[in-house]
Amino acid sequence: MPTMRPPRIRPTALRSFQITPLRRISSASPWHWHSGETVDLAFDLHKEGECKTDSSKCKPPIIFLHGLFGSKINNRSIGKRLSRSLNRPVYALDLRNHGASPHNPEHTYAALAADVAAFLSKHSISRPTLIGHSMGAKAAMALALWEPDRIANLIAVDNAPVDAALKSDFHSYVAGMRAVSRAGVGTQKEADGILSEYAKELPVRQFLLTNLVRPKTGDSKVLEWRIPVEDLARQLDGMGDFPFRDPEKARFEGPTLIVRGTKSPYVADEALPVIGRFFPRFRLVDIESGHWVISENPEAFKDAVVEFLEDKD
């Protein structure tokens, strides 16, 4: 089980930040920080243990947000395990442009967070725990900073509230998906052969290939990406940004857990002081893994989340 240790916050390492101007459309609108349309998110609901047989015994819910090119399917196993261990319902969401959720050319953290806020309202979910990995982590952090009173706890997995360029791997993945599209493949095996030139690790290719499906209509035998590859490619650089710059003007005071992979560069020690200013009640846990923390070391991740949330019930 990973050892929970206090964050190493070095005030002298703090930089000066300025907040990104927010676009207001109406003071009465709950989405005053997002002027675009929200989309209705697809989801899976996992209820295990006593929560499955008696909803009155369910503890506060968890909202689980996947990373770039992922979907709710990626969090099915860990969602069920967390529900069973914590007796909480777990909503695993498909973020916009992913999985079974609608596509929209706007793919920003403001849009992603607004979609999740709309989901909470539609399903009458009050003060859940947000868990997000990678892109989902920044979306969760953005929502916690914009609507802090609506969120009870936050768990951000291998990402930080800073502007940081995505690793070149993600651009390579997009190039590989484009190559698959051009080839007009009819089998996953054919697609994997093409992707192997762009993603060396088999688990990564298997992850990407969960997005390659056969069309539901027509007689075509050519597999298609269910995600809008070109739209996401245009927004790729923005996925390294974070919509807040000033921790003095936006802060989430709720309990926060930052989970980082020991072999991943996305949560550097230099980012910890900034994390501490945005999320002053944060705790840090290191898990032996790369960026794909949940799939690489699911037992350690589950233990860290359970330990963090057990005293929050």
Q: Which residues are catalytic?
A: 134, 291
And the tokens for 286?
């290191």
Amino acid at 147: E
DSSP letter (8 states) at residue 5: B
Query: Three-state SS for 213?
Result: strand
Other C-beta atoms lying within 10 Å of the C-beta of residue 165: 10
The closest of 94, 80, 93 to 47, measured between CA atoms, is 80
Angle between helices 188-195 and 168-183 (to 10 degrees): 140
Q: Which residues, other chains included, contact 162 with Cβ-Cβ below 8 Å and sequence gap of 6+? A: 242, 271, 274
CA distance 48 to 108: 33
96: Cα within 13 Å, side-chain hemisphere: 26
DSSP letter (8 states) at residue 282: E
CA distance 91 to 151: 14
The closest of 132, 140, 133, 145 to 115, measured between CA atoms, is 140
And the tokens for 131?
């868990």
The closest of 34, 284, 255 to 146, measured between CA atoms, is 34
The CA-atom distances, in angstroms, between 63 and each of 94, 163, 312 are 11, 24, 15
